[in-house]
Amino acid sequence: MDKQSQIIQELGVQPTIDAPAEIRKRVDFLKDYLKANPFAKGLLIAISGGVDSAVAAGLCKLATDELSRESGQDYITLGVFQPFGEQEDIEDSYAVAEAFQLTHKVETDIEDAVDELCLEAEYGLKSIGIHKHLSVGGKGNVKARTRMVLQYALAFELNLLVVGTDHASEAITGFFTKYGDGAVDITPLSTLTKRQVRLLAKELGVPEAILNKAPSAGLWPGQTDEKELGITYEDNSDYLEGKKISEEISRKLESRYELTRHKREPIPRI
């Protein structure tokens, strides 16, 4: 088996999908996990304004609405908006909530918390003789982790499961939330490529403006996944769907896959 086939198999990607069937499968997946965890009263999804969280939000809302009708209990989907100070595209997050008629919404501004954590980290560095501010990437990671802390604070109080937006096109490059990055409880998009996520978005009725946005984790101004990696999601999706792409891009993707293997594996146990 060649490297491309091995990676495709490990990530569980299919070369083509039927969007309605995939939506049904993933909604049932969420419902089954909720039913298997009796404490859980619903799902929490952080809505960034990008296509991945929009699709996850749509799946969550379908799942909790169906469970509520079927069980006679109230299951909710909580949409969480997490700007760092002013977020230019915050209206996209609210547009997703409106598109899927989310009745439960919370906004948590992480700026003050992130600044305090970074300051404490810099004091820590100073205590061992290192006088520096956190790097741009380091502060970006603090933002990501702070968002997860707040999600779990809300989820704990409301007995919710935290839903991740990770998919195969992020897993191959290590651009996803796992363990040291904060972790999530369940990932309904994990075997999809970015292109396939967009297919589900169209089927679910995600607003058109969100479909055309450049993917970004919002870790620093102007940050985009494609710029940071030097790999387009078109090439990434082609590779994972078994298509032939340039050897240079294939090598880049395979190198990233090996470099970030630790993020895809369970916590090692002795």
**All residues at 6 or more sequence positions from 13 whose CB lies less than 8 Å from its CB, including other chains:** 168, 191, 192, 193, 240, 241
Q: CA 259 → CA 167, 171, 175, 255, distances in Å? A: 18, 11, 12, 6
Q: What confidence tens digit (pLDDT) does each residue in 146-173 have?
A: 999 999 999 999 999 999 999 999 889 8
Residue 14 lies in a domain: yes
pTM: 0.91
The total of other beta-carbon atoms located within 10 Å of residue 270's CB is 2
Any domain includes 247: yes
38: domain CATH number is 3.40.50.620
Looking at the domain assignment, is residue 127 inside a domain?
no
Catalytic position from the list 22, 92, 166, 170: 170
The contacts of residue 203 (CB under 8 Å, 6+ apart) are 19, 20, 23
Instruction: Write the DSSP symbol of residue 213.
Output: S
Domain span including residue 48 = 3-110+144-263
74 counts as catalytic: no
Please indicate, yes or no, if residue 269 is contained in any of the structural domains: no
Residue 135 included in any domain: no
State yes or no: pLDDT of 217 exceeds 70: no
pLDDT tens digits, residue range 76-107? 999 999 999 988 788 999 999 999 999 999 99
Query: Do the domain assignments include residue 94?
Result: yes
- Overall domain count for the chain: 1
**DSSP-derived 3-state class of residue 72:** coil
| Residue 223 falls inside a structural domain | yes
Catalytic pick from 52, 92, 225, 235? 52
Interval 102-146: pLDDT, tens:
999 999 999 999 999 999 999 999 999 999 999 988 998 899 899
Q: Is residue 188 part of a domain?
A: yes
CA 113 to chain centre: 21
Q: With cut-offs at 50, 70 and 90, classify the pLDDT of residue 264.
A: confident
Catalytic, 52? Answer yes
In whole angstroms, how large is the CA radius of gyration of the chain?
19
Q: What percent of the chain has pLDDT over 90?
A: 76
Q: Residue 194's closest CA among 241, 246, 256, 244?
A: 241
- Reported as a single tens digit per residue, the pLDDT across 6-59 is 999 999 999 999 999 999 999 999 999 999 999 999 999 999 989 999 999 999
215 pLDDT exceeds 80?
no
